[in-house]
Structure 1
Amino acid sequence: MSIAIPTPSDTFTLLADVSLRSSPAQIPAPTQTRAALLLLDTLGICAAAAPMQAGHIARDTTLALYGTSDPAMSAPMLFDGRTASLAGAAFAAATQIDNLDGHDGYNPVKGHIGVAVMPALSALAHHLPDLTGPETLAALVVGYEVAGRAGVALHASACDYHTSGAWNALGVVALAARLRGLSDAQLRHALGIAEYHGPRSQMMREIANPSMLHDGSGMGALVGLSSVIMAEKGFTGAPAITLEAPDMAPHWASLGREWITEEQYVKPYPICRWAHAPIDGARLLRARHGIDHSKIARITIRSFAEAVALYPGMPDHSARAQYALAFPVAWMLINGHIGLDQISGDGLSDPRVARLVALTETAVDQRHQDRFPAGRWADVEITMQDGSVFASGDLNASGGPEAPFDADTICEKFMTYAAPVLGQSRAEAIQDAVLSLTRKESTFSAVNDLITPAP
């Protein structure tokens, strides 16, 4: 017996048309190219995160809890090769990526999309060996477009600030429904299931107590793919409120016409985006004035309240380092670089960094607050022991839609993260395969064959 639900809204009909029936040719070429670069960027973070403790735990947990006896419902885990369920493989990779905070994001939702939709794409594509490059990118774009709008709608209607998993699960549903050929009715049920079960976890709780929970995207990927399989098998869900409530319609009106895939930012540092403008400020002042960090007397950081709430002291584990403010600014002033070495191991206990962290003062500035979340603004002031004062002026975090990184910069970042783990030749092969996806004759299997075996 089926359970009837209300007539679909016009917004759902629009979403179904774009998600299930649009062709790659309807997506502008620049959007497809940007999607390929976002895919490459996310894969670089996924590879670099594979040896990290959280990645190991996520993959081992997946084997313990999210296996399957059905080959048609299984896929190898990224940069591991061991087999899990479709939803489990997506969960493992999304959790792994989520715990190295260097992946793309979308300013209006204060969160991340690629971290969830890329793992779902890889898991599902193992059963689609002939999936073309353009169709791969179309599915990925659908995931970004739906997830971003779902996030905006949730933030506009909820009373508190939820992690990305609460809404990027709907992007996973849209991508998966397209790749698995769901009907409109199945898609509608899957969206309702995913919204209902999505992890509405409180982001500021994680900011106050940094941990491996990060941004909830592992659970978002798990819920999104699980919801699609449940709907395929006949499980029903109530219509998604963030999609079908009448007052949500304005958030979806541009779907299929305006491409927010091109508005994703790419991170230059594996640190919470809220700290990037102060880091950029430290980098600018170091280069402009040749600052000797040993002669700094005081560092003042002014930003918006959420940034000032980031971890203030010396972190004792990587999660705190990635959600810190004074710590990455100190590292930038010392060596002009922030990478994996700075947010783990000995990088967490460097006495030079500890000295600068202790000298750092932070304050909320209303002009920066007024520009959040559209921008991530801050200014940095450094006072030297001789009384000299150097000021950065107001800065917005780099790599966003106002001044996006070009393809060469994103490729350089990918190699920086992927090559040390995978080796230069394998990383280059992945890069070439991903960037070739815009060609009609390409297939995603060329990428998947390179990203599933263990490093």
Structure 2
Amino acid sequence: MVHQPEMSGAGVGVCAKIADFALRKPAPSFPAEALRAAALQLLDTMGIVIAAAPMEAGRIARETAALLYGTGASRHSARMLFDGRRVSVAGAAFAAATQTDNLDGHDGYSPTKGHMGVAMVPALAALAEAAPQLTGPEALASLVIGYEIAGRAGIALHATVSDYHTSGAWNALGVAAMAARFIGLDDGEFRHALGIAEYHGPRSQMMREIATPTMLHDGSGMGALVGLSAAVLAGNGFAGAPAITVEAPEVAHYWEDLGRFWQVTRQYIKPYPICRWAHAAIDGTRALCLAHRLAPAQIARVRVNSFHHAAALFAGMPDTTSKAQYSLAFAVATMIIHGRIGVEHISGAGLEDAAVAAMLKRIEVVESARHSARFPEGRWADVRIETMDGRVLESGDVHARGGPEAPFTPDDIIEKYMEFAAPVLGQARAAAIRDRILGLTMRESRFGDLASLLYDPPASQRHDAA
């Protein structure tokens, strides 16, 4: 029996409201707009999970899960996405979230300064392994719950602490809420699960990772691991309440609109596998090059003005994929040279591209107080290009594409998914996954029909293993 701390005060009332939302709100009562958005977020994130499967960080994460996070109880086991080996449900979520986190092309939410789907999608896939009758709408509703709770926990955390923590710190609470719904925790156990998830969530320093980019990225692998572990711990009687980002009086107003305002419908979709902070600069450069039909040889100098965090991104020619994804000047140079930024540009031979390295020397990045004042609500930049023949071309203020300010259409998201998924899985399997994810909004759909496509490794991976 879980020892229940005294439940009194407004904070406990907030937690009770969240528990009612997470544990008992039926899928048919979620707005159709929110479920459709969740399906598109799932599709977008799954494309990044797939594209990241052959990458070194994903391979290491899966090997580590197999070594450290096995399980003796089948109800707490799950297969790893695009790998197939069975580990604990927490281990499976950890592996896929770490894998996804290391290809920075997944969705995000500006007010949180971070990302939700990177942890919520792996958690859903892992939890669904023990729920073969899970309907499509219920799977999407669970995903929405994770997004809504993680997003508000993230905003509350940023508003009440001095350091800038990675997404894993608050993603842990969203994952714990999803797991609580699947496991069937009661309200008291749910409260403890949130407290455990917050306490053990990885409060890793984001700007430390920006200064020295590595495979640590945004902490979401550990956030997923902690969130799932928290729910299981609470279900077994482990006490950990309260969660301060939920129950502290100063954060109560961040939870008032839960169930009325749907954050899942306000996510941004990334057109490039690059830190979102660089996207406005990339988009401004892209627009000028297209509008004036600029060839790389015509460009003499590029000046990018952006906000403080964008100006702090990696400045040189990267020698690792992690540095490439946390770059700005390199990303702008890549866009000028290639007209797009794909996985091939931030890995392998792309890190030794002589034309990009030469263009990089012509690019200057400067902080603008005007743009810094609008962060994190917006990610703004303006770009000035001087041409070899003496013209000066200016983009004006540009906001990154893909968010509510300049949204992608469903067709844009589908096209992006296929661009990332098809080279790894092949056109037929990628298209089958696409169709089944988009079909999850149908009442008669089953998540298991999608799950049957998610575990076998890509053909190239099977060949490597052999």
Q: TM-score, normalised by structure 2?
A: 0.96
> Is 1:89 the equivalent of 2:92?
yes
Match of 1:354 in 2: 357
> Is 1:73 the equivalent of 2:98?
no
Match of 1:323 in 2: 326
Match of 1:20 in 2: 23
Q: Secondary structure at the match of 1:363?
A: strand
> Is 1:257 the equivalent of 2:266?
no
Match of 2:111 in 1: 108
Once the two structures are superposed, the pairs formed by residues 356-435 of structure 1 within 5 Å of their partners are 356-435=359-438
Distance in 2, matches of 1:253 and 1:369, equals: 28
Distance in 1, matches of 2:385 and 2:247, equals: 50
Q: Secondary structure at the match of 1:451?
A: coil
Distance in 2, matches of 1:366 and 1:133, equals: 46
Corresponding pairs, count:
455
Distance in 1, matches of 2:256 and 2:212, equals: 37
Amino acid at match of 1:3: H
Distance in 2, matches of 1:210 and 1:90, equals: 23
Q: Kindly provide the CA deviation profile for residues 37-93 of structure 1, in whole angstroms up to 9, marking residues without a partner as x.
A: 000100000000000000000000111111112212110000100111000000000
Task: Tell me by how many angstroms 1:2 deviates.
Answer: 4.3
Of residues 288, 296, 303, the one that matches 1:285 is 288
Once the two structures are superposed, the pairs formed by residues 157-306 of structure 1 within 5 Å of their partners are 157-306=160-309
Distance in 2, matches of 1:346 and 1:379, equals: 30
* Gap runs ≥5 in structure 2: 459-466
> Is 2:4–2:188's contact at 8 Å kept on the other side of the alignment?
no
Q: Kindly provide the CA deviation profile for residues 354-385 of structure 1, in whole angstroms up to 9, marking residues without a partner as x.
A: 11111111111111111110110001111112
Amino acid at match of 1:50: A
Match of 1:5 in 2: 5
Match of 2:338 in 1: 335
Task: Tell me by how many angstroms 1:294 deviates.
Answer: 1.7
> Is 1:99 the equivalent of 2:114?
no
Question: Displaced runs of 4+ in structure 1, greater than 2 A?
Answer: 1-4
Amino acid at match of 1:152: I
Q: Secondary structure at the match of 1:356?
A: helix
Task: Tell me by how many angstroms 1:147 deviates.
Answer: 0.3
Q: Secondary structure at the match of 2:355?
A: helix
> Is 1:452 the equivalent of 2:464?
no
Task: Tell me by how many angstroms 1:3 deviates.
Answer: 2.9
Distance in 2, matches of 1:404 and 1:386, equals: 35
Q: Secondary structure at the match of 2:190?
A: helix
Of residues 30, 33, 42, the one that matches 1:30 is 33
Distance in 2, matches of 1:260 and 1:451, equals: 27
Task: Tell me by how many angstroms 1:282 deviates.
Answer: 1.1
Task: Tell me by how many angstroms 1:172 deviates.
Answer: 0.3
Distance in 2, matches of 1:126 and 1:359, equals: 51
Distance in 2, matches of 1:356 and 1:379, equals: 18
Distance in 2, matches of 1:4 and 1:411, equals: 47
Distance in 2, matches of 1:165 and 1:2, equals: 27
Q: Secondary structure at the match of 2:344?
A: coil
Q: Kindly provide the CA deviation profile for residues 279-333 of structure 1, in whole angstroms up to 9, marking residues without a partner as x.
A: 0011101101111212322110000000000000100010000000000101111
Task: Tell me by how many angstroms 1:181 deviates.
Answer: 1.1
Q: Which moved more, 1:82-91 or 1:356-365?
A: 356-365
Distance in 2, matches of 1:168 and 1:85, equals: 19
Distance 1:2 1:183, change over 3 A: closer
Q: Secondary structure at the match of 1:297?
A: strand
Amino acid at match of 1:191: L
Q: TM-score, normalised by structure 1?
A: 0.99
Match of 1:150 in 2: 153
Match of 1:51 in 2: 54
Percent of pairs with identical residues? 60
Q: Which moved more, 1:286-295 or 1:371-380?
A: 286-295
> Is 1:120 the equivalent of 2:123?
yes
Amino acid at match of 1:134: P
Match of 1:41 in 2: 44
Q: Secondary structure at the match of 1:382?
A: strand
Amino acid at match of 1:195: E
What is the root-mean-square deviation of aligned Cα atoms in Å?
0.9
Distance in 2, matches of 1:331 and 1:151, equals: 32
Distance in 1, matches of 2:376 and 2:6, equals: 35
Task: Tell me by how many angstroms 1:25 deviates.
Answer: 2.2
Distance 1:291 1:240, change over 3 A: same
Of residues 135, 138, 143, the one that matches 1:140 is 143
Match of 2:463 in 1: none
Amino acid at match of 1:369: S
Q: Secondary structure at the match of 1:409?
A: helix
Distance in 2, matches of 1:233 and 1:353, equals: 54
Q: Which moved more, 1:270-279 or 1:60-69?
A: 60-69
Distance in 1, matches of 2:57 and 2:409, equals: 30
Distance in 1, matches of 2:98 and 2:91, equals: 10
Distance in 2, matches of 1:168 and 1:144, equals: 8
Q: Kindly provide the CA deviation profile for residues 71-116 of structure 1, in whole angstroms up to 9, marking residues without a partner as x.
A: 1211000010011100000000000000000000000011000010
Distance in 2, matches of 1:261 and 1:6, equals: 33
Task: Tell me by how many angstroms 1:395 deviates.
Answer: 0.3
Q: Which moved more, 1:320-329 or 1:378-387?
A: 378-387
Match of 1:129 in 2: 132
Q: Kindly provide the CA deviation profile for residues 142-163 of structure 1, in whole angstroms up to 9, marking residues without a partner as x.
A: 0000000000000000111000
Distance in 1, matches of 2:428 and 2:334, equals: 31
Distance in 1, matches of 2:138 and 2:407, equals: 25
